[in-house]
Amino acid sequence: MLATYALAPLLASLAATPTPSPSAELDAATIVKKAMARNLFGLSGTAHATMVIHTQRGEEKTRDLDVKLMRNAAGLQRALISFRSPVEVAGTAFLVLERPEGNPDQYLFLPALKKVRRIAAGQATDSFMGSDFTYLDLSPLPQGSANQVEYKKLANQDVGGQPAFVIEAIAKIPGSPYSKVITSIHRDHLVPLRIEFFDQLGKPLKVVMMKKLKKVEGKLIPVEMEMRNQQKNSWTTLALNELNLKIKLSEEEFTPESLVQ
């Protein structure tokens, strides 16, 4: 969704007293599926978010944005990210529409051009709005691709003092920019704690660290994360607040036409 972080203080008030967990018997693919259901694309609701970009040159850029997420009647995911500020990006909107088959559709509205453009497959690994996230990082796994990913359980580890499963995923999806992804998942809550990405040469590329978890409507979910590019020495933090998982959204709010305000 990285230098070592002291996650224990952030998680201590949320973690349950350790008890034998039935998740210990789950296979690697099931653990990952349950964990990913608790990331942004596993939720339905709205949130305000703050993105802070730290560039290679030591610059810091802050972006305020709104996030909308939902699943339609067919269970397909929809996501809309709208930028509030600063002025140079205000009004910019990014839409993701999961499809029954193949890669999700992605659209970007640039207010200066007053035009909606579709993000082409070849742009999937481009930087999203100058951040360390790519367009690919902000999309769900394509429908039907689960059987193109090979999962393997590695030795359990502690992440910031929290017990975690460690799952290695090797994608056999044509065009995938990653040779493998290693995810550390809380053993009791099945929440992702750390996700490590490796380039096509097998070298560390970037890592996402969940810096803060929070209980919202009884669900323990990541509300603050950091994406660090290990090859460029830049990083981006993303913090969610004003999270509302009760609000009802309509599919009409998630169309390319709705982006033009």
pLDDT digits (tens, 9 = 90+) for 47-64: 999 999 999 999 999 999
Residue 93 exposed, middle or buried by CB count within 10 Å (0-12, 13-18, 19+): buried
The 8-class DSSP code of residue 8 comes to H
136, 120 Cβ separation under 8 angstroms: no
CB burial string 95-129: b at 16+ within 10 A, e below: bbbbeeeebbebbbbeeeeeebeebeeeebeebbb
Tokens, residue 78: 């929809």
- Residue labelled with tokens 């691709």: 145
State yes or no: pLDDT of 39 exceeds 70.
no
Tokens, residue 107: 């659209």
> pLDDT band for position 103 (50/70/90)?
confident
> pLDDT band for position 16 (50/70/90)?
very low
Section 141-163 average pLDDT:
81
State yes or no: pLDDT of 41 exceeds 80.
no
pLDDT reported for residue 182:
94
> pLDDT band for position 260 (50/70/90)?
confident
Rg (CA), the chain: 18
State yes or no: pLDDT of 243 exceeds 80.
yes
pLDDT reported for residue 50:
97
Residues 6+ apart with CB under 8 A from 231: 199, 203, 204, 205, 206
For residue 254, list its beta bridge partners: none
Task: Considering the domain delimited by 7-259, tell me its CATH architecture.
Answer: Clam (2.50)
Least confident of 17-26, 39-48, 197-206, 250-259: 17-26
Residues 6+ apart with CB under 8 A from 156: 163, 164, 165, 166, 187
> pLDDT band for position 65 (50/70/90)?
very high
pLDDT reported for residue 30:
81
Nearest to 160 by CA among 194, 195, 207: 194
Section 30-51 average pLDDT:
74
The pLDDT > 70 percentage for the chain reads 84
- Residue labelled with tokens 């998680």: 11
d(CA 261, CA 259): 6
The number of angstroms, rounded, from the C-alpha of 36 to the middle of its chain's C-alpha atoms is 9
pLDDT reported for residue 148:
74
d(CA 130, CA 236): 10
Tokens, residue 50: 């703050």
The per-residue pLDDT for range 122-134, each reduced to its tens digit, is 888 899 999 999 9
pLDDT reported for residue 145:
61
For the chain, give the mean pLDDT.
82
